[in-house]
């Protein structure tokens, strides 16, 4: 005892000093390593890994937003361009209308004649209002305005005086708009059409003006000008609406060539003021680039001084005029989910750091008790718990011992599991066999009793007929008794044959299904000829490793069954072939006979089961077929769409080298 105590005393201090050193190192190493890994992980996840294709979440998020902004900008540019083209087409069609031009041409001489006479403008336009030509003209203008639903008002202006000679608003008649910039351009610079955004001289509302000259006399001289007004806030601003697709800060804004806004802004300016259309000039870079005719994406500041991601486009309206389109979104909103994700990662990482610190302390402490854990595990195994494992915390002698212990218990557990599975399998097979024997005994007693009852019944009748001396009835009674005895004999022969399958093992050999089929066809040749059945045997059938005599018996039974159940088929046909499926080669015998309803697919393989009780046979043939197939490690089933659709009997056979049922 003193020797053991001295050994323990000698080892104790060494072990304690060793574990204290490891524990301190583990705390420092694991803690530092985890913090470094956490920092590297967060940084690489955010900004990517150098010299690799991984760009990081920040770059990915920015690329996705730019892609979305590009898509929105392209769609809005296309929509605005399409809308402007439609409006220009409206103005062109109306200015060249055969309805408008005659009435304008009819009114112009009246206006010019009265102007020469010195008639005042009020008197002149009072006369115009009463003219039928004027009334028809204004009715048509109102009809165009109402049918399109886009135009705020439509006017026709005298090119010589600048006075409005027709309008959808009667109050505008006679007003002079000669000083209108767009009107001056179309009169003096040789344009036949121009587009501009400005304030309506009458109402002061910001509008889009589309002007086009009306050629009344075919001399290309501008006699009158058609002006169509569109409220930009009602029709252009809705086309810039971003909805929820660009978040709460997303905005699309339109500017002219002077970088002045054409519609009201979504946000106030940096100083809190409101940007006024056609007055406020944006100095943000994407707006300037778009106004200059450039297109692209950029990360910069907007008119508020906020950092944004923006896509900018240039929209060509006419050959001399273009607009700039900017679609943007605040960076703060774009990267808000990413920042929130980083906060969560930091919180979770910090929590994990404390967890790892605690686990490190526990692991370091547990290193002093490996033998104790091993002995505890051994006691549990002794108590019957084979699932217990001891943790392997080192590669020294204790670690080797723990590994060997775990390996040994694992093998014992596997053996125990395998043994339990085998016991369950054997028990299940035994239960199946017992159930099969019960069904077999019941079926045999039931089906053998039938001919016995027949014999017994006709013996009684025979006795009476002998007493009566009725020779004819005696012959019939004897014939019935003979038939019943013959049926019993066939039943007993088939049962004997069924009992031999699997018990009497034949020699297996590799043979082609085609050879087996031809051999079976020879045995049922008389029936085939009598029923005039056309049989097709595929030429490239695979080899099978089987008991030749038994497989010929399978095919013979299946072919015989197909012939019996051809029904009234005028062109009976049987096909013998094979196909490849996931489970392997599937062999089949297909006919175009009566077919079998799905509810009977399993029943037909039962002992003495016959779907047609009046048919020949004992009802054991298909049971024999199933038994032979199962003994060969395969399975058999029926494929049929129902009555009158034919049947396909499919079966599989275990490959050479695979255990069959008898070997198992």
Q: What is the pTM of this model?
A: 0.49
> Are 244 and 327 in a shared domain?
yes
- Is the CB of residue 268 less than 8 Å from the CB of residue 262? no
Q: Does 108 reside within a domain?
A: yes
Specify whether 150 is located in the same domain as 192: yes
Where in the sequence is the domain holding 627, given as residue range(s)?
Answer: 504-651
Pair 17, 30 in one domain: yes
Q: Quick check: 115 pLDDT over 80?
A: no
Q: Which tokens hold the place of 636?
A: 């058999």
pLDDT at 1 over 50: no
How many domains does the chain divide into? 5
Alpha helix (H) residue ranges in 534-632: 548-564, 621-631
Q: Token match 């203008």: residue?
A: 141
- Examine the pLDDT at 38 and tell me if it is beyond 60: yes
- Are 279 and 406 in a shared domain? no
In the predicted model, is pLDDT for residue 151 greater than 80? yes
User: Is residue 221 predicted with pLDDT exceeding 80?
Assistant: no
Q: Indicate whether 608 pLDDT > 70.
A: no
Confidence label for 90 from pLDDT (cuts 50, 70 and 90): very high
Half-sphere exposure of 117 (CA within 13 A, CB side): 11
| pLDDT, tens digit, 9 for 90 and up, residues 316-330 | 988 888 999 999 999
Instruction: Pull the structure tokens for residue 421.
Output: 């599975």
**482 and 529 inside one domain:** no
**C-alpha to C-alpha distance for 661 and 655, rounded to whole angstroms:** 12
Q: Please check whether residues 361 and 320 belong to one and the same domain.
A: no
Reduced to 3 states (helix: H, G, I; strand: E, B; else coil), residue 236 is helix
320 and 186 together in one domain: no
Whole-angstrom CA distances from 611 to 72, 100, 300, 624, 641 are 70, 90, 84, 17, 16
Beta bridge partners of 213: 225
* Pairwise CA distance, residues 87 & 93, whole Å: 10
User: Considering the domain boundaries, does residue 85 fall inside one?
Assistant: no
**CB distance 305 to 270 below 8 Å:** yes
Tell whether 90 is covered by a domain: no
Mean pLDDT of 248-264: 90
Identify the CATH number of the domain in which residue 122 sits: 3.30.450.20
Give a yes or no: residue 69 inside a domain: yes
**Domain final residue pick, 485, 500, 515:** 500
* Angstrom distances, CA of residue 578 to CA of 207, 539, 541: 80, 10, 7
CATH number of 395's domain: 1.10.287.130
Residues forming beta bridges with residue 281, ordered by sequence position = 260
Please give the backbone phi and psi of residue 573, each rounded to the nearest 5 degrees, phi first: -145, 140
Rounded to whole angstroms, the Cα distance separating 638 from 589 reads: 10
Do both 230 and 257 map to the same domain?
Answer: no
Among 500, 534, 561, the domain boundary falls at 500
Q: How confident is the model at residue 86 (pLDDT cuts 50, 70, 90)?
A: very high
| pLDDT for residue 22 | 45
In a domain, 58, yes or no: no
Beta strands in 447-563 (DSSP E): 508-512, 534-537, 543-547
Position 488 confidence tier, pLDDT thresholds 50, 70, 90: low
pLDDT score, position 82: 93
Residue 592 and residue 529 in one domain: yes
- Is the pLDDT at 483 greater than 80? The verdict is no
- Which residue in the block uniquely carries the two structure tokens 């009684």? 460
Q: Are residues 359 and 320 in the same domain?
A: no
CA-wise closest residue to 290 among 262, 328, 318, 255: 255
80 lies in some domain: no
Total residue length of the chain: 664
CATH of the domain at 69: 3.30.450
Which among 191, 216, 234 is the end of a domain? 234
φ/ψ of 536, rounded to 5, equals -115, 125
């Amino acid at each position: 005892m003193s020797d053991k105590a001295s050994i323990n005393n000698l080892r104790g201090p060494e072990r304690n000093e060793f574990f204290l050193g490891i524990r301190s190192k583990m705390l420092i190493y694991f803690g530092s390593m985890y913090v470094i890994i956490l920092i590297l992980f967060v940084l690489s996840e955010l900004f990517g890994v150098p010299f690799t294709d991984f760009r990081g979440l920040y770059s990915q998020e920015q690329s996705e937003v730019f892609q979305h902004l590009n898509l929105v900008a392209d769609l809005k540019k296309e929509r605005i361009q399409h809308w402007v083209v439609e409006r220009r087409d409206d103005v062109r069609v109306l200015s060249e209308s055969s309805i408008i031009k005659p009435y304008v041409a009819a009114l112009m001489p009246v206006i010019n004649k009265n102007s020469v006479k010195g008639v005042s403008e009020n008197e002149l336009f009072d006369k115009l209002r009463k003219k039928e030509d004027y009334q028809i003209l204004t009715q048509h203008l109102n009809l165009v305005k109402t049918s399109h639903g886009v135009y705020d008002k439509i006017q026709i202006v005298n090119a010589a005086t600048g006075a409005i000679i027709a309008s959808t608003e009667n109050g505008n008649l006679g007003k002079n708009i000669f000083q209108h910039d767009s009107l001056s351009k179309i009169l003096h610079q040789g344009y036949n059409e121009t587009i501009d955004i400005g304030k309506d001289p009458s109402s002061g509302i910001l509008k889009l003006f589309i002007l086009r000259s009306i050629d009344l006399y075919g001399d290309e001289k501008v006699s009158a000008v058609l002006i169509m007004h569109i409220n930009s806030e009602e029709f252009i601003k809705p086309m810039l609406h971003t909805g929820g697709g660009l978040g709460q800060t997303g905005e699309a804004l339109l500017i002219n060539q002077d970088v002045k806004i054409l519609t009201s802004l979504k946000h106030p300016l940096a100083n809190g003021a409101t940007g006024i259309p056609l007055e406020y000039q944006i100095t943000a870079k994407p707006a300037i680039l778009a106004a200059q005719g450039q297109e692209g994406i950029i990360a910069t500041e907007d008119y508020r001084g906020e950092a944004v991601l923006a896509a900018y486009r240039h929209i060509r309206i006419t050959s001399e005029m273009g607009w700039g389109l900017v679609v943007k979104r605040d960076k703060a909103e774009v990267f808000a989910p990413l920042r929130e994700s980083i906060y969560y990662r930091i919180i979770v990482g910090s929590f994990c750091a404390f967890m790892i610190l605690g686990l490190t302390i526990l692991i370091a402490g547990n290193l002093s008790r490996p033998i104790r854990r091993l002995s505890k595990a051994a006691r549990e195994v002794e108590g019957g718990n084979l699932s217990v494992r001891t943790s392997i915390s080192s590669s020294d002698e204790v670690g080797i011992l723990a590994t060997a212990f775990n390996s040994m218990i694992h093998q014992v557990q596997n053996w125990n599991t395998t043994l339990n599975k085998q016991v369950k399998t054997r028990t299940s097979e035994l239960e199946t066999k017992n159930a099969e024997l019960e069904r077999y005994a019941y079926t045999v007693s039931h089906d053998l009793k039938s001919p016995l009852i027949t014999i017994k019944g006709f013996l009684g009748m025979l006795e009476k007929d002998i007493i009566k001396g009725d020779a004819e009835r005696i012959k019939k009674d004897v014939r019935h008794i003979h038939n019943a005895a013959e049926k019993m004999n066939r039943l007993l022969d088939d049962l004997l044959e069924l009992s031999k399958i699997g018990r009497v093992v034949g020699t297996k050999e590799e043979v082609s299904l085609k050879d087996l089929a031809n051999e079976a066809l020879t045995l049922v040749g008389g029936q085939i000829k009598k029923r005039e059945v056309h049989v097709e045997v595929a030429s490239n059938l695979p080899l099978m490793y089987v008991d030749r005599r038994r497989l010929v018996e399978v095919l013979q039974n299946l072919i015989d069954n197909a012939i019996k159940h051809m029904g009234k088929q005028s062109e009976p046909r049987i096909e013998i072939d094979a196909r490849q499926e996931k489970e392997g080669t599937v062999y089949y015998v297909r006919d175009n006979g009566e077919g079998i309803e799905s509810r009977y697919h399993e029943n037909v393989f039962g002992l003495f089961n016959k779907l047609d009780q009046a048919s020949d046979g004992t009802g054991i043939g298909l049971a024999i077929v199933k038994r032979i197939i199962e003994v060969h490690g395969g399975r058999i089933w029926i494929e049929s769409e129902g009555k009158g659709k034919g049947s396909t009997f499919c079966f599989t056979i275990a490959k050479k080298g695979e255990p069959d049922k008898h070997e198992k």
